Amino acid sequence: MNLRNQHALITGGSSGIGKALAVLLAGRGAHISLMARNATRLEDAAAEVRGAKADRDQRILSFSADVSDRNQVEDTVRKIIRDQGVPDLLVTCAGMIHPGRFMELPPGVSERTMEVNYFGTLYTIRAALPSMVRRKRGRLVLISSGAGLIGIYGYTAYSPSKFALRGLAECLRGELRQYGIGVSIVYPPDTDTPQLSKENRIKPFETRLITGAARTRSPQMVARAILKGIRKRSFVITPGFEMTLLFRLHSILAPLAERYFDYRIALRSRG
Ligand SMILES: NC(=O)c1ccc[n+]([C@@H]2O[C@H](COP(=O)([O-])OP(=O)(O)OC[C@H]3O[C@@H](n4cnc5c(N)ncnc54)[C@H](OP(=O)(O)O)[C@@H]3O)[C@@H](O)[C@H]2O)c1
């Protein structure tokens, strides 16, 4: 896929993985629309992305909206299409996490996580898709997580929202082929972003024990893997060897991993 003069709309593009991908795409000549809530952070990110432009005429704009609010999403996507044109690439990266033991989570956390991670993705796709279908081209890139492949202690709010994205992507892939719209789903590993730092501050120690064994990647490495997957028109994008292994073997690995996680937690609790 040649990205020059293509328009990429990236939700969650003001930080972390979304911003790193925006920088890469700008370097390949794409026009970029960033969508997130905080206007100051969006403008700072847009300035950084402009710094990576491959040519002067590229348009890098930011749009403030909460993806969990369907009306806001519809209005904002309409504005984006008016100002920047129909997206060739729609990357739904906006997301949140609030780890904690199920019985200790504050009320509403699971609902909010599902609203942002799942419905935020669904609303954005629904708002942009009709115009993409009319043009009969484009690609949706949904950002799930390794925690969307395997449920982990402390992620009862997060994992289900990321599992749900897998279901959505698999159904859409089959339905959208006939309209020339490609679909990708990304399963990133732990990535060094503000979300991970925030999460690390409140993670139960059991979650820390389990996830601490995995390698943390840079947002730039994850963005490069996503770009490669987009270019190859891959349906599944697994940044790094561990995620590739987990994706391919998770039905076999899950019972072994669960036994290992339980063992580590029991050992630590006894000690
Ligand atoms: N970091 C990891 O270890 C990791 C691993 C696997 C998967 N992921 C997934 O990758 C995606 C990006 O994560 P990240 O680590 O790059 O996070 P990040 O640095 O915290 O960035 C999150 C982005 O989403 C936006 N956002 C959050 N809530 C939003 C809302 N309600 N409406 C609109 N925008 C919203 C944020 O901007 P505002 O707050 O200003 O809205 C920000 O631009 C997420 O879906 C995350 O679940 C991350």
Give residue-wise pLDDT tens across range 145-185. 999 999 999 999 999 999 999 999 999 999 999 999 999 99
Whether residue 144 lies in the annotated active site: yes
Mutation test of ligand 1: which of 41, 76, 193, 200 has the most ligand atoms closer than 8 Å to its C-beta?
Answer: 193
Task: Give the rounded percent of residues in the chain with a pLDDT score beyond 70.
Answer: 100
Ligand 1 centroid from CA 91, angstroms:
12
Ligand 1 contact via 16 beta carbon (within 6 Å): yes
Q: What is the mean pLDDT of residues 77-94?
A: 98
Mean pLDDT of all residues belonging to the chain: 96
User: In the prediction, which pLDDT does 258 show?
Assistant: 84
Ligand 1 centroid from CA 253, angstroms:
28
Task: Give the rounded percent of residues in the chain with a pLDDT score beyond 90.
Answer: 89
Ligand 1 contact via 94 beta carbon (within 6 Å): yes
CB count within 10 Å of CB 110 equals 17
* Contact in structure between 129 and 179 (CB atoms under 8 Å): no
Mutation test of ligand 1: which of 116, 149, 195 has the most ligand atoms closer than 8 Å to its C-beta?
Answer: 195
Name the residue at shortest CA distance from atom 1 of ligand 1: 191
Q: Which amino acid is at 22?
A: A
User: In the prediction, which pLDDT does 271 show?
Assistant: 65
Lowest mean pLDDT among 13-17, 19-23, 79-83, 256-260: 256-260
Q: What is the mean pLDDT of residues 99-114?
A: 97
Beta bridge partners of 139: 89, 182
Q: What is the mean pLDDT of residues 94-103?
A: 98
Whether residue 162 lies in the annotated active site: yes
Q: What is the mean pLDDT of residues 57-66?
A: 98
Confidence band (pLDDT; 50, 70, 90) for 251? confident
Q: What is the mean pLDDT of residues 196-214?
A: 91
List, in order of start, the domains of the chain with CATH numbers.
7-270 (3.40.50.720)
The token pair that represents 209 in the structure block: 């024990």
